Amino acid sequence: MEPSALLTKALHVIKPFYKTSETTLYNGSCLEVMKMFPDDYVDMIFADPPYNLSNNGITCHAGKMVSVNKGNWDKSQGFAKDLEFHKKWIFECRRILKPSGTIWISGTNHSIYQCGFLLQEMNFHVLNDISWFKPNAAPNLACTTFAHSHETLLWAKKDKKAKHIFNYDRMKNGDFAEDKIKAPNKQMRSVWSIPTPAPDEKIFGKHPTQKPLALLTRIVLASTNDGSLILDPFNGGGTTGVAAKIIGNRKYIGIDTEKSYIATTIKRLENILTHE
């Protein structure tokens, strides 16, 4: 049976909220949706799970003091329950990844170490830990620690012995390769300086932890090929799907519990269509 037929058969309980020939979006829990997917199905996963930072604190946004609370989905349930949640979704990701598939996980010190521990516990092979440096990061209003100006991206593959996708030449010599003019043959390093999302990336709505399109474009180009199937179990503002759509010749599945974020994703995707 073809993979598409398997998917149609498996997902008889949860219907897509939005579907085209290239994109499928689900409004629901990633734990429930991913259980419906067949084994060894997707080529690449990008996951930006909740950082569990909605603790009634404050932060700085656009030069103003604002609450860190983002929603119930971002509230910590305590160390043990947070760890158990990460374990459940990473387990499902491992099951549905192809043997040669890779997973990217983004996080801060509040979540990334739990995820990294679980990747190793489940026998993923960690390929890189990328430091995404934010040159325009917000200042630390409390002035009790260094200003938080980076996030960590873990990149791992399911099977250490399998050949994974890495478009090395494109990362080394592509249009966005770092220091291309100064050093055209320089390998791309594991520290990426990319600003947070520009205003024009939020015109259809915004997600409080939205990732910049430049970041996801680099990730998708680095670790997928034409025909690859990409999954984002925490779709958010849909940047992974937008990157896949702009690059082209990829299929995308996004899952989110919040309808408003799915709606924002649809607007962003349909805006691309109107300009093609």
95 in a domain, yes or no? no
Q: What is the rounded distance in angstroms from the CA atom of residue 119 to the CA atom of residue 89?
A: 11
The number of C-alpha atoms within 13 Å of 31 and in the hemisphere containing its C-beta is 8
CA distance 49 to 256: 11
Residue 93 lies in a domain: no
Task: Give the whole-angstrom CA distance, residue 275 versus residue 231.
Answer: 24
Which pLDDT belongs to residue 1?
Answer: 44
Alpha-carbon distances of 16 from 98, 207, 266, rounded to whole Å: 22, 21, 13
124 part of a folded domain: yes
Overall domain count for the chain: 1
Q: What CATH code is carried by the domain that includes residue 60?
A: 3.40.50.150
Question: Which residue range is the domain that position 121 belongs to?
Answer: 3-87+102-274
Q: For residue 240, tell me if it sits in a domain.
A: yes
In a domain, 92, yes or no: no
Residue 32 domain-assigned (yes or no): yes
Per-residue pLDDT reduced to its tens digit, 58-87? 454 555 555 455 556 556 778 999 999 999
Tens of pLDDT along 103-137? 999 999 889 999 999 999 999 999 999 999 999 88
- The answer as to whether 94 is a domain residue is no
Averaged pLDDT in 10-residue chunks for the chain of 276 residues: 48 85 97 97 97 56 53 72 96 97 95 97 98 88 85 97 95 67 74 93 87 96 97 97 97 97 96 74
Residue 96 lies in a domain: no
Dihedral sign computed on CA atoms, order 215, 219, 225, 228:
negative
Q: Which residue in 83, 91, 24, 12 sits closest to 235, CA to CA?
A: 24
- In tens, the pLDDT along 41-51 reads 999 999 999 97
